Amino acid sequence: MQKLLTALIGPAIAALVLAAQPGVAEAQSRIKDIVSIEGVRSNQLVGYGLVVGLNGTGDSVRNSPFTRQSLEGMMERQGVNIRGANLNTKNVAAVMVTAELPPFATPGSRLDVSVSAMGDAKSLLGGTLLVTALQGADGEIYAVSQGSVQTGAVSASGGSGSSITRGVPTAGRIASGGVVERETGFDLGSMPVVRLNLRNPDFTTAQRIAAAINQTYPQSAFAENGTVVAIRAPQNFGMAGFLSRVENLPVQIDSPAKVIIDEVNGVIVMGEAVRISTVAVAQGNLTVSVQETPLVSQPEPFSRGGQTVVVPQSDISISEETGRQMRIVGGSTSLSTLVNGLNALGVSPRDMISILQAIKAAGALQAEIEVI
DSSP 94-135: EEEEEEEE-TT--TT-EEEEEEEE-SS-S--TT-EEEEEEEE
Confirm if 318 and 287 have CB atoms less than 8 A apart. Answer: yes
**What are the backbone angles phi and psi of residue 257, rounded to the nearest 5°?**
-75, 120
Residue 256 C-alpha from the chain's centroid: 22
Q: What is the pLDDT of residues 88-126, one digit of tens each?
A: 788 999 999 999 999 999 999 999 999 999 989 989 998
Confirm if 90 and 54 have CB atoms less than 8 A apart. Answer: yes
290 — pLDDT class (breaks 50, 70, 90): low
Task: Looking at mean pLDDT, say which of 2-6, 7-11, 53-57, 176-180 comes out highest.
Answer: 176-180
265 — pLDDT class (breaks 50, 70, 90): confident
Higher-pLDDT residue of 282 and 245 is 245
Sorted by where each begins, the domain ranges of the chain are: 28-40+190-252, 43-180, 258-285+324-371
Mean pLDDT rounded to a whole number for the chain: 81
Confirm if 254 and 204 have CB atoms less than 8 A apart. Answer: yes
Q: What is the pLDDT of residue 19?
A: 35
* Averaged pLDDT for residues 271-298: 70
Angstrom distances, CA of residue 150 to CA of 5, 56, 165, 232, 298: 42, 17, 15, 46, 71
Angstrom distances, CA of residue 63 to CA of 49, 91, 117: 18, 14, 14
Angle, vertex CA 266, rays to CA 260 and CA 267, nearest 5: 40
Sequence-separated (6 or more) residues with CB below 8 Å from residue 199:
34, 35, 36
Confirm if 227 and 210 have CB atoms less than 8 A apart. Answer: no
Q: What is the pLDDT of residue 270?
A: 84
**What are the backbone angles phi and psi of residue 299, rounded to the nearest 5°?**
-70, 165
In one-letter notation, the amino acid at residue 235 is: Q
Q: What is the pLDDT of residue 10?
A: 38
Higher-pLDDT residue of 284 and 361 is 361
* Averaged pLDDT for residues 154-159: 68
Q: What is the pLDDT of residue 186?
A: 87
Q: Alpha-carbon distance 151 to 126, whole Å?
A: 9
Q: Alpha-carbon distance 268 to 184, whole Å?
A: 44
Task: Looking at mean pLDDT, say which of 34-48, 82-96, 330-344 comes out highest.
Answer: 34-48
Q: Which residues pair with 30 in a beta bridge?
A: 250
**What are the backbone angles phi and psi of residue 322, rounded to the nearest 5°?**
-115, 175
Q: What is the pLDDT of residues 140-151, one digit of tens each?
A: 999 999 999 998
pTM: 0.69
Longest distance between any two alpha carbons in the chain, whole Å: 114
Q: What is the pLDDT of residues 333-364, one digit of tens each?
A: 566 777 777 777 677 777 788 888 888 888 88
Q: What is the pLDDT of residue 341?
A: 72
Superfamily of domain 28-40+190-252: Dipeptide-binding Protein; Domain 1 (3.90.76.10)
* Averaged pLDDT for residues 46-74: 90
Q: What is the pLDDT of residue 110?
A: 95
Q: What is the pLDDT of residue 287?
A: 53
Exposure b/e, 103-119, CB count within 10 A at least 16 = b: eebeeeeebebbbebeb
Closest Cα partner for 100 from 55, 44, 61? Answer: 44
Q: What is the pLDDT of residue 313?
A: 67
